[in-house]
Amino acid sequence: MRLYPSSGFRALLGLLIVGSVAPAAGQEHPGSARDAALGLKFEELRFEPPAVQRRTLSSGVDVLFLEDHSLPLVSLYARFEGGYALLPRELYAAATALPGLLRSGGTKTLSPDSVDNLLDFYALQTAFGGGGESTFSSLNTLTKHLVPAVELWREILRNPRFDPDELEVWRGRQSEGIRRRRDSPGALAFSEFNRLMFGDHPIGWELEEEDLTPELLSPETLATVHSRIFCPEHLILGAVGDAEWETLEPLFERMVEDWPACPEPLDEPQVPEMRREGGVFLIPKDLTQSTVVMAEPGGIVQGASEDYFASRIGNMILGASGFSSRMVSRVRTEKGWAYSASSLWTTPGEFEGIVGAVTQTKSESTIATVRLILQIMEGMREAPPEKEEVDHAISQIVNGFVFNFQEPSQILSRQMFYLSQGLPEDWLEEYLEGIQRVSPLAVQKVFQNHVQPQDMVILILGDPEHFDLPPETLGPVQIWEVQGATESPVEGRPRKDSPLPGRSRAP
């Protein structure tokens, strides 16, 4: 089979040929292809996302709307303030189960099978999910099925059944997940680090068997949680696709009409009392590989501050940008101690997050890897990064930013999130401008102000019998017990919160 070059390839080939042909006698050299390519001029690219319209229903519910007639499809979104983080601990399991059982548990007028059949008949795609402080749902439908789709979606959101049989299926899956949780070293380490760092706070909560009892997880408790979250005063709606506002408005008005208000307000968000004293914590487990999680309070919240933008660039340089980051370059490429190593710097909107790093390494390089990561963090404090590092991190964020907005639905869902977080409507533009203003000195300053490597809380899950150095090399060690999972291969090692005697923190 003969291959034929594309027209674009032929044009480029022609440019290369022109640039390489020797000039005729008496003629000037036409120049190289490289010079011709470098001489091309392009207009400056500007980030201008499509304008999202903001409307308000007669009930006061905000709707974000983006019209797009490229395909005969409409996507609808509902975002509710409220999740397990804004409810008492005894409702944690019910709040966690709520999104999934909205989809699988049927409605007051439709059995679970009937809901499934209608979704299949109209070729509807739905999603239900939630986080600590929010719960959401989406619906995608052909334009011609928009009216019955919204009616079914309304019924699911407003009048769920929470079928007992489906609830038992969910309970069984979670129970099995709890039993298997300790079999995954990575998941176990992250889960236990959250508990260690945040204590009795929603971030540190995990489902346990006692959460799944019928007293705490029943159709009645699910109905209670639903009534406290799914109220019009907590709702933001969104729509994108092949429909005009004149068509959508009456559908949304009917969706929210006569929707009862919440019987009582949600709890106020809890500010976590994070562990602020550094330390080394060990979960002994007979493994050939260690999982390391380390962090400390990060001191940054999301917002238009110099420190916030500098922390985004600093985190990329430290370890969040993959192979170009310092951690991967030193820990993986140079030393070969880990397949992956990454930094993290979380920035919630209401309270500070954490800054730190995670990695997995073979047992025989555990302590050396931890010490190297701490050294890399200290290097970020001692001197500003090279301008090339900052420029590269900025380019990664700016050039990659466009991929968050390939589809109108991505733009709309982000705008809904920003609205729910109280961020300005032009936050997308403000974010990019702030990122592009970051300087090397600003990165060094944010590390000096908010990152203290010697104060890191370090959790190591692994077998200390095979570590390259005793874990006490990093400082006094405390055993962190995990129910049914903690092993103690070291004879006589003290248990949780009992430091080994006679040890001092390494400098």
For residue range 167-213, what is the model confidence (pLDDT) as tens digits?
999 999 999 999 888 889 999 999 999 999 999 999 999 999 999 99
Helix (H, G, I), strand (E, B), or coil: what is residue 489? coil
Condensed to tens digits (0 to 9), the pLDDT of residues 477-502 reads 999 988 655 444 433 333 333 333 22
Residues 338 and 472 in one domain: yes
DSSP string, 456-479: -EEEEEE-GGG-SS-GGGGS-EEE
Residues 313 and 242 in one domain: no
Residues 106 and 235 in one domain: yes
Give pLDDT, residue 21: 43
Q: Is pLDDT at 101 greater than 90 in this prediction? A: yes
* Residue 47 counted as domain residue: no
Largest CA distance in the chain: 97
- Final residue of a domain: which of 221, 256, 291? 256
Give pLDDT, residue 294: 98
* Residue 208 counted as domain residue: yes
Residue 360 belongs to domain with CATH number: 3.30.830.10
Q: What is the mean pLDDT of the chain?
A: 88
* Residue 269 counted as domain residue: no
Q: Is pLDDT at 149 greater than 60 in this prediction? A: yes
Number of compact structural domains in the chain:
2
- Predicted confidence band of residue 425 (pLDDT cuts 50, 70, 90): confident
Give pLDDT, residue 496: 37
Residues 221 and 98 in one domain: yes
* Residue 125 counted as domain residue: yes
The Cα angle at residue 123 between residues 120 and 125, in degrees rounded to 5? 95
Q: Is pLDDT at 164 greater than 90 in this prediction? A: yes
* Residue 3 counted as domain residue: no
* Residue 156 counted as domain residue: yes
**Under a CB-based contact definition with an 8 Å cutoff, are residues 468 and 309 in contact?**
no
Residues 214 and 167 in one domain: yes
Residues 388 and 300 in one domain: yes
CA 333 to chain centre: 26
Higher local confidence (pLDDT), 413 or 81: 81
Give pLDDT, residue 485: 52
* Residue 9 counted as domain residue: no
Residues 218 and 320 in one domain: no
Strands 279-284 and 134-142: unpaired
Condensed to tens digits (0 to 9), the pLDDT of residues 241-251 reads 999 999 999 99
Residues 130 and 186 in one domain: yes
Q: Is pLDDT at 281 greater than 60 in this prediction? A: yes
Burial of 353 (0-12, 13-18, 19+ CB in 10 A): buried
Of these ranges, 19-33, 47-61, 120-134, the one predicted with the greatest mean pLDDT is 120-134
Q: Is pLDDT at 455 greater than 60 in this prediction? A: yes
- Predicted confidence band of residue 421 (pLDDT cuts 50, 70, 90): confident
- Predicted confidence band of residue 34 (pLDDT cuts 50, 70, 90): confident
Helix (H) or strand (E) holding 211: none
Q: Is pLDDT at 152 greater than 80 in this prediction? A: yes
- Final residue of a domain: which of 256, 271, 301? 256
Q: Write down the residue that tokens 């397949």 correspond to.
A: 339
Residues 185 and 216 in one domain: yes
Residues 87 and 233 in one domain: yes
Total-model pTM: 0.82
Give pLDDT, residue 22: 46
Length of the chain: 507
Mean pLDDT of 362-390: 97
* Residue 39 counted as domain residue: no
Mean pLDDT of 125-150: 96
Residues 234 and 284 in one domain: no
CA distance 272 to 130: 20
**Domain span at residue 174?**
53-256
Residues 250 and 294 in one domain: no
Mean pLDDT of 342-352: 93
Q: Is pLDDT at 42 greater than 90 in this prediction? A: no
